[in-house]
């Protein structure tokens, strides 16, 4: 979906549009692979051999990418990888184990953003957010050099990685965040919470994603919740003094 916003700019700078597309592919492949690997690795390190038996303790993208989920990511900006099977009952505290394993995925996305953002932090390349079309149009009119192209590529990966991490921390089924909450609840409250999530969580998530499209952008609850967090993390990981989303 992000790439389609650049189709009209192909006449101005084909390389810039292809770089954004390449950054999108890189961020999604690396993001999903590292995300699912982190789930598997942390579960394995806590004594659960189920992920290893399913071949998931690997950074090989083929082990983690779900074809349908990947297609949806490109078309609508929402998708998924193959869920990592986990057996929390190997732990004396299954709720805590699930929270740690679930949280490892988004943390890996933030780690990718931090590492990729180092050249931006050090001022080696300029920050060029793929979501700031006004700045991109200005840069297109001025012309790109090699540093600008690399800055655009790295900036796009940083932003997309942060979005993946923040989105997955939302406490709504089937996102990772919904498995973190029970660690802070009593057993009875945790069971009630998970029962509610399994029945209604996915419907709530779809409704929240669809709401901006159905209301012409008037009600973007997810955007309103996520954008301040994304802005803070982008400032932290890329060393910028501006917001990604105003």
91-133 tens-digit pLDDT: 999 999 999 999 999 999 999 999 999 999 999 999 998 887 7
**Rounded to whole angstroms, how far apart are CA atoms 192 and 198?**
10
**Rounded to whole angstroms, how far apart are CA atoms 187 and 90?**
17
Please say whether the beta carbons of 86 and 48 come within 8 A: yes
List helix spans (H) across 117-170. 118-121, 133-142, 146-168
Q: For residue 2, give the DSSP letter.
A: T
Mean pLDDT throughout 215-227? Answer: 81
**Exposed, middle or buried: residue 187 (CB in 10 Å: 0-12, 13-18, 19+)?**
exposed
123-176 tens-digit pLDDT: 999 999 888 777 777 777 777 888 988 998 999 899 989 999 999 999 999 999
**Biggest CA-to-CA distance, the chain:** 61
Phi-psi sector, 243: left (phi>0), alpha (psi -120 to 50), beta? beta
């Amino acid at each position: 979906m992000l790439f389609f916003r650049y189709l009209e700019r192909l006449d101005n700078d084909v390389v810039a549009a292809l770089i954004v597309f390449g950054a999108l592919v890189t961020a999604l492949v690396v993001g999903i692979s590292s995300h699912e690997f982190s789930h598997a690795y942390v579960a394995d390190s806590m004594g659960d051999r189920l992920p290893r038996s399913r071949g998931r303790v690997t950074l090989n993208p083929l082990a983690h990418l779900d074809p349908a989920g990947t297609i949806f990511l490109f078309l609508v900006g929402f998708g998924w990888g193959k869920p990592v099977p986990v057996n929390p009952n190997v732990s004396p505290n299954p709720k805590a184990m699930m929270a740690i394993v679930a949280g490892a995925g988004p943390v890996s996305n933030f780690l990718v953003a931090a590492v990729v953002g180092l050249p931006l932090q050090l001022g080696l390349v300029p920050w060029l957010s793929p979501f700031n079309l006004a700045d991109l149009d200005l840069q297109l009119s001025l012309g790109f050099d090699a540093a600008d192209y690399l800055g655009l590529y790295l900036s796009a990966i940083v932003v997309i990685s942060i979005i993946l991490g923040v989105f997955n921390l939302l406490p709504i089924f089937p996102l990772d965040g919904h498995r973190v909450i029970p660690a802070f609840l009593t057993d009875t409250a945790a069971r009630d919470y998970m029962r509610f999530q399994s029945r209604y969580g996915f419907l709530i998530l779809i409704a929240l994603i669809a709401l901006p499209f159905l209301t012409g952008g008037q009600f973007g609850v997810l955007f309103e919740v996520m954008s301040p967090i994304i802005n803070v993390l982008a400032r932290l990981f890329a060393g910028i003094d501006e917001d990604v989303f105003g």
